[in-house]
Structures are given as structure tokens and as C-alpha cells.
């Protein structure tokens, strides 16, 4: 049997939670349980990848310290990552015991929050432990406190080892009906990078300025011919550069934000077939809004669809994964 411990505190010397999980580890190892501890403050740059470590665990312990309000940011980041990237089918088979020690107040609320979060993820909560510890030395030197930790750890082991059934929770019923996470088919690294860039106003502004400067240079060199483009020419360009991608079936609409007279371009892809036409149609999987010059930069191979979105030149409604597929479907860089 394997149990993972995820510690969400700051790792300071007098953190009572560190003593508690150390004692828990000792008891579990005496029961021949393989224990692996993950300190979230050490993994803070890779928390989004930690849900992968749940796959070989029979049970987990979520341990945190309430220092002023709530269970702390590292633990919330880990739970967010489990919600966005965790294997929900695997989580449904995993027992979780919350361990929350407080140096101020709110340890019971913290333990209840962890249990509620795990239930919303679909997992199986089991009895944990919580306590108010103002002085860690008293915890370490008290044989009574040690016996409490040992007894509760044995109960955690028994629950996980015997796979004891638990009552269904209303949290799971509610989340099934109204709280389904929208699926964005991104890796944790891509999502983190997208969030980082999209929230950096200076980066976005600099990218826009660079793209506008490049577009101006190319338009000057080509005598302004690009500005005279029309939807029919764009359709021909897209059809010429189409490259089939297996498994892709989608309908795109490209509207021009700075030219209301220019007809939208409809791109309908189904495996090896591609139909491009002009017009305004409903029922599209992805709707793009882009200025004419930026779209011409994409058609000219000077910018990709994804880079245009990251830079703020393209506004998207629909599935982001399908936008990424457009750079595969149309080999414009080779033109």
C-alpha cells in the first residue's frame, strides 16, 4: 500500500504540522506502508504537474497549517491543479485524510474545507485530525498528543487498507450537475504559460507594438497591396495551403473587427476535406475576431494563429484546442 503526503505549509522550523506528519510517517512505515511526501513550497514551480503523482497512490494525506486565514495558497494551487488536470476516474478511488494544525484559529474549518474539496473532486474522504498548537515544543514533548496522532493514523490506515465504504456526499451530486469544469485540452505547462503571458500587460503591449511595426514594414515594401485584400482572395489562399490532419472536424468563422464591409470567412474541415467560403453562418465551433492586417500577416506566414491569440490580435469564442489545430491545418509558413 502507498500513501502520499502533500504538505502545504511554508516549511518553517516551528510548524506543528511538520511534527504531526513526521509522526504519521513513522506509524505508517511501521505498518509496512510506503510513504512519499511532497512539500508543495519546494514544488511551487511544478504544482500543476503534481496530480500525476496520484496515479499510484491508494490514499493521500493533505496536510496544511492555518497561520492566519485558511489552508494557504500552496494547497489551494494543488487542489486547483487536481480539478483542472487530475484524472477524475483515478481520484474517485483514492481516500484522503486531512491534517490541519493551527497556530491561530480556524483548524476545524480548514479540515472541513479540505474534505469538501476532495468530495467535489469525486474522491473518498476519511477522518483526519486537526488541532490548535500555539507552542510546538508542547506538542513534541507530550506523550498524550503522540498517542492521539498514533491512534488517528491507525484509523486512517484501517480505512484505506480495508477500503471502507463512505456515504455519498451532496457535494458530489451538486458538482456533477452544475460544476463541471470546462475542458481546455492544454498541458499544465501550456496553461501556465498562457496565464503568465496573458496576465502580463507589458508583454502583451510589447508584442502588439512589434507586430504592428512588422506589419507596417511589409505593407510599405509591398506598396500597400495587402490592404486591398478581400475575402475571396483569403479563401483561395487557405484552400491552397490546406494540409489534412487526422481526426479534426470543425467549423470556423473568421470575422474582421476593423472592416465591417469585408465578409466573414467560413472554414469547414472534416478529415481530408476542406471547404472555405464567404458569408455569415451560425453553428461554428470556433469564432475568431481579427483585424484585417493581422489576418494578412497570418496568411503571409509572418504570424501563426496561436501567436496572434497570445498577443491579443485575435479574440476567440469556442474551443482553444481547435485554434491550435489551425496552424497545423494551414501550412502558411511554407508559402
Record the cell numbers describing residue 25, joined without a space: 510517517
pLDDT band at residue 186, thresholds of 50, 70 and 90? low
pLDDT digits (tens, 9 = 90+) for 105-122: 899 999 999 999 999 999
pLDDT of 317: 87
What average pLDDT does the segment 158-179 reach?
76
Give the integer Cα–Cα distance in Å for 206 and 161: 56
Whether pLDDT at 333 is above 70: no
- Percent of the chain clearing pLDDT 70 (strictly above): 84
- Percent of the chain clearing pLDDT 90 (strictly above): 47
pLDDT digits (tens, 9 = 90+) for 189-242: 565 555 555 555 666 667 767 776 776 666 555 544 444 468 899 999 999 999
What average pLDDT does the segment 71-99 reach?
93
In the sheet that holds 273-278, the strands lie side by side as 273-278, 265-270, 249-256, 286-290, 314-318
pLDDT band at residue 271, thresholds of 50, 70 and 90? confident
Burial of 195 (0-12, 13-18, 19+ CB in 10 A): exposed
What average pLDDT does the segment 251-265 reach?
89
- Alpha-carbon distance values, 43 to 6, 7, 90, 155 (Å): 10, 10, 22, 29
Given phi > 0 = left and psi -120 to 50 = alpha, else beta, which region is 333?
alpha
Pairing mode of beta strands 95-102, 2-7: unpaired
Specify the CATH number for 2-178; select among 3.30.70.20, 3.40.1550.10, 3.40.50.300, 3.40.50.360. Answer: 3.40.50.360
Whether pLDDT at 173 is above 70: no
Every domain of the chain and the residues it spans: 2-178, 188-334
Q: Can you give the length of the chain in residues?
A: 335
Say which residue, 212 or 129, is predicted with more confidence.
129
pLDDT of 152: 96
Averaged confidence pLDDT in the chain: 85
What average pLDDT does the segment 267-279 reach?
91
* CATH topology identical between 2-178 and 188-334: no
Architecture of domain 188-334: 2-Layer Sandwich (3.30)
Its pTM stands at 0.56
pLDDT of 213: 72
Min mean pLDDT across 6-10, 206-210, 311-315 is at 206-210
- CA nearest to 48, candidates 195, 147, 158: 195
pLDDT of 196: 56
pLDDT digits (tens, 9 = 90+) for 44-53: 888 999 999 9
Reduce the DSSP state of residue 134 to 3 states and report it: coil
Say which residue, 305 or 220, is predicted with more confidence.
305
Amino acid at each position: 500500500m502507498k500513501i502520499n503526503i502533500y504538505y502545504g505549509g511554508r516549511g518553517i522550523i516551528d510548524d506543528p504540522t511538520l511534527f504531526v506528519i513526521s509522526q504519521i510517517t513513522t506509524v505508517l512505515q511501521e505498518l509496512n506502508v510506503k510513504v512519499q511526501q511532497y512539500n508543495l513550497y519546494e514544488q511551487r514551480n511544478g504544482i500543476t504537474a503534481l496530480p500525476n503523482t496520484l496515479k499510484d497512490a491508494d490514499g493521500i494525506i493533505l496536510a496544511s497549517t492555518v497561520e492566519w486565514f485558511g489552508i494557504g495558497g500552496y494547497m489551494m494551487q494543488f487542489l486547483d491543479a487536481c480539478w483542472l488536470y487530475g484524472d477524475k476516474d483515478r481520484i474517485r478511488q483514492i481516500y484522503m485524510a486531512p491534517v490541519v494544525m493551527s497556530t491561530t484559529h480556524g483548524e476545524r474549518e480548514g479540515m472541513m474545507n479540505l474534505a469538501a474539496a476532495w468530495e467535489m473532486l469525486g474522491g473518498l474522504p476519511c477522518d483526519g485530525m486537526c488541532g490548535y498548537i500555539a507552542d510546538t515544543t508542547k506538542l513534541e514533548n507530550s506523550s498524550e498528543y503522540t498517542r492521539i496522532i498514533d491512534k488517528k493514523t491507525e484509523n486512517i490506515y484501517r480505512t484505506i487498507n480495508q477500503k471502507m465504504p463512505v456515504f455519498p456526499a451532496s457535494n458530489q451530486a451538486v458538482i456533477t450537475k452544475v460544476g463541471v469544469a470546462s475542458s481546455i485540452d492544454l498541458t499544465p505547462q501550456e496553461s501556465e504559460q498562457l496565464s503568465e503571458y496573458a496576465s502580463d500587460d507589458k508583454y502583451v503591449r510589447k508584442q502588439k507594438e512589434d507586430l504592428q511595426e512588422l506589419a507596417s514594414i511589409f505593407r510599405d515594401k509591398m506598396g500597400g497591396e495587402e490592404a486591398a485584400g478581400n475575402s475571396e482572395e483569403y479563401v483561395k489562399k487557405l484552400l491552397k495551403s490546406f494540409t489534412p490532419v487526422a481526426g479534426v472536424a470543425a467549423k470556423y468563422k473568421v470575422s474582421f473587427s476593423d472592416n465591417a464591409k469585408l465578409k466573414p470567412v467560413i472554414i469547414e474541415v472534416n478529415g481530408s476535406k476542406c471547404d472555405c467560403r464567404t458569408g455569415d453562418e451560425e453553428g461554428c465551433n470556433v469564432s475568431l475576431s481579427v483585424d484585417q492586417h493581422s489576418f494578412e500577416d497570418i496568411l503571409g506566414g509572418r504570424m501563426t494563429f496561436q501567436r496572434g491569440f497570445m498577443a491579443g490580435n485575435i479574440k476567440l469564442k469556442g474551443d482553444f484546442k481547435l485554434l491550435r489545430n489551425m496552424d497545423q491545418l494551414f501550412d502558411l509558413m511554407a508559402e
